[in-house]
Chain A
Amino acid sequence: MSAAFVGRDLLASLSDTLAERADRAVGDIAREVRDGAVSNAARDTGSMASGVYVATADGSDYGERMAEARDANPEVVILDEVAPDGPGEAVVGCAAGHSIYVEYGTRNMAAQPFLTPAAEAARANMAGHVMARIESA
C-alpha cells in the first residue's frame, strides 16, 4: 500500500515539475519573439520598439515597456495589456497603438512587418527551448 502512495506522489511531483518547466519554456519562446520583434522594428521615435512586451502566467513587463514607449514619444497611443488565459500560454504584445498599422500596412502605406517575422523565426527554436528546460530538471 505504501509503495502505491509513494508512486502516486512521485508521478504527481513529476507532472508538476514538467508543467512548470513547460511554462518556463513558453516564456523563453515569447521572450525570443519579443527580442526579435524589437530588433526588426522600424524606428522613428522608438516608441513602437520600446512597447513590445511579454505577459505570462508568472508576470508581465507591460508596465515597464509602456513607460518606455511613453518616454520615447509622450503622444503615443497606449493600448491596454493583453494577458494570457492561464498557465502554458504567453502573449507577446505591442503597447503602442500604431504598431498594427506598421505590421500590416494601411491603404497608402506599405507594411513593415516586425512581429510576424520574429514569431516565424522562433518556431525553429521551440523544441530546443522545451528540451533545455526539461533537461535542466
Chain B
Amino acid sequence: VATVNETTRAESWLYQALAAGVPSLQAYSVVAPEGAAQPFIVFQQQATSDLMVVGAARVWASMLYLVKVVGQTTSFTALQPAADLVDAALHAAAGQVGGGTILACTRERAFSLVEESNGLQWRHLGGVFRLLVQGQ
C-alpha cells in the first residue's frame, strides 16, 4: 500500500523524460523564471484523483498534467517540432523514478493558447497528459 505523495515522483519523471526526449529545451515546473531562454517547456498539475480499494489501499494516483512548449512567436509552426518531441517523449510512456513508478502516461487532448503581452505574441503548444503514478 502506497503511503507517499506521488506528486514529486510524477514531476521527477517528467523532468527525466523531457530531458531525455527534448534535450534542447529547458523544462520548468509551474512557471519559467524571468528571462528564461525561450522556447521553453512548462508543466503543471491540473487535477488529481486516487484509485482506492478495500482497506483504503491506494492503487495509484491519477494525475493530469498540462505540458506545453512556450515561445515568443506569431506561428504555432515554430513550436511544432519541439511539441512533437514532447509528445513522443511522454505519450504511451512509462518508467521508474526514485520512490515511484509511472505506470502509464498518455495524452488526453492537445493544447494550444495564444497570449499577447506588450504587443508581442506568446504561444503555448502541447497537451494534457494523464499519469498513473504509484508511490513505493
- Tell whether A pairs with B: yes
Residues of A within 8 A of B (CB): 100-101, 104-111, 113, 116-117, 119-121, 123-124
A83–chain B nearest beta-carbon distance, Å:
21
What are the 6 A-B residue pairs with the smallest beta carbon separation, nearest first? A120-B47, A117-B47, A116-B46, A110-B31, A107-B122, A113-B46
Q: Contact between B42 and A116 (Cβ–Cβ < 8 Å)?
A: no
- In the complex, A123→B34 CA distance in Å? 37
Q: How many A-B residue pairs have CB under 8 A?
A: 53
Greatest chain B CB density within 10 A among A105, A109, A111, A123 is at: A105
Contacts A110-B31, A121-B49 given; does A104 touch B66 at CB 8 Å: yes
B59–chain A nearest beta-carbon distance, Å:
15
Contact residues on B (Cβ < 8 Å of other chain), bracket: 20 to 34
Query: For A113, what are the chain B residues with a Cβ–Cβ distance below 8 Å?
Result: 44-47
Query: For B32, what are the chain A residues with a Cβ–Cβ distance below 8 Å?
Result: 107-108
Q: Contact between A106 and B44 (Cβ–Cβ < 8 Å)?
A: no
Q: Is B9 an interface residue (CB 8 A)?
A: no
- In the complex, A31→B103 CA distance in Å? 33
Q: Is B124 an interface residue (CB 8 A)?
A: yes
Query: For B48, what are the chain A residues with a Cβ–Cβ distance below 8 Å?
Result: 120
Name the CB-closest residue of A to B111: A104
Query: For B113, what are the chain A residues with a Cβ–Cβ distance below 8 Å?
Result: 100-101, 104
